[in-house]
Amino acid sequence: MVAKAGFYPTLSFGYSLSSNFSNAFKYISGVEPAGFSNISPTSPFVTVGSTKYFVQSPLYNTVTANRDFSNIWKGWGRQLDNNFGQNFGFQLSIPIFNANQSKAAYQQSKLNYQSASLQKENAQRKLKQDIYAAYTNAVVAFNKLNANQKAVISAEKAYSFATKRYELGLLGTIELLNNQNNFLKAKVNYKAAQYEYVFRIKLLEFYKGEALSL
């Protein structure tokens, strides 16, 4: 839907308020006489009778002074009021010549959406495969645990029977040690199967969203 917006006209509005204030640090405080202008052939003149009288203009020099801090802000309220302005405007944009660009952007957005959907499906499919694999591994670990438990029971009985035969002198030391080693190996395999089974069960609990704890 966002990509489709490029096909439609857009209307925007704007409104602003403005004002300004300015005061120079130096200001003209007065003037003082500086004599008269020089007389030249091009100077203005008046003729009285047959006599020509040149007209001289008085000259003045301006006198400046510095404002103190309080005088710098003098008249700021009046300036802000006189310089206050408001602006309002709006702009209408109609997509006439960029139709192909909008269409291409819309098609690209559709492709991106389809690609994201496929990625989501692949992720869900892989998650299901991982869950099925975890369940299968848990079943295998459980069967392995039972098999090792039976192996421990069998090895324990064999070792117990070998011990009795050894005590009666019917079995040698080597055979007794072999039965003992088989019993110990069976118990080690059973412990390993227990740890593997616990790991597989905890992995299933993780996929179910349960908190992991030992």
Q: Sign of the C-alpha dihedral, residues 185, 190, 195, 200?
A: positive
48 vs 45: CA distance, rounded Å: 10
Going by pLDDT thresholds of 50, 70 and 90, the confidence category of residue 147 is very high
Question: Tell me: the pLDDT tens digits for 149-195?
Answer: 999 999 999 999 999 988 888 888 899 899 999 999 999 999 999 99
pLDDT over 80 at 132, yes or no: yes
Question: Tell me: the pLDDT tens digits for 58-98?
Answer: 776 776 766 666 666 666 566 666 677 777 776 766 666 55
pLDDT over 90 at 213, yes or no: no
Q: Which residue has the higher pLDDT, 36 or 62?
A: 62
Q: Is this model's pTM higher than 0.85 or not?
A: no
Going by pLDDT thresholds of 50, 70 and 90, the confidence category of residue 112 is confident
C-alpha 14, offset from chain centre: 29
Predicted local confidence at residue 195, as pLDDT = 93
> What average pLDDT score do residues 125-130 get?
88
Question: Tell me: the pLDDT tens digits for 113-122?
Answer: 888 888 888 8
Return mean pLDDT, the chain: 77
93 vs 105: CA distance, rounded Å: 18
Predicted local confidence at residue 109, as pLDDT = 78
Predicted local confidence at residue 55, as pLDDT = 65
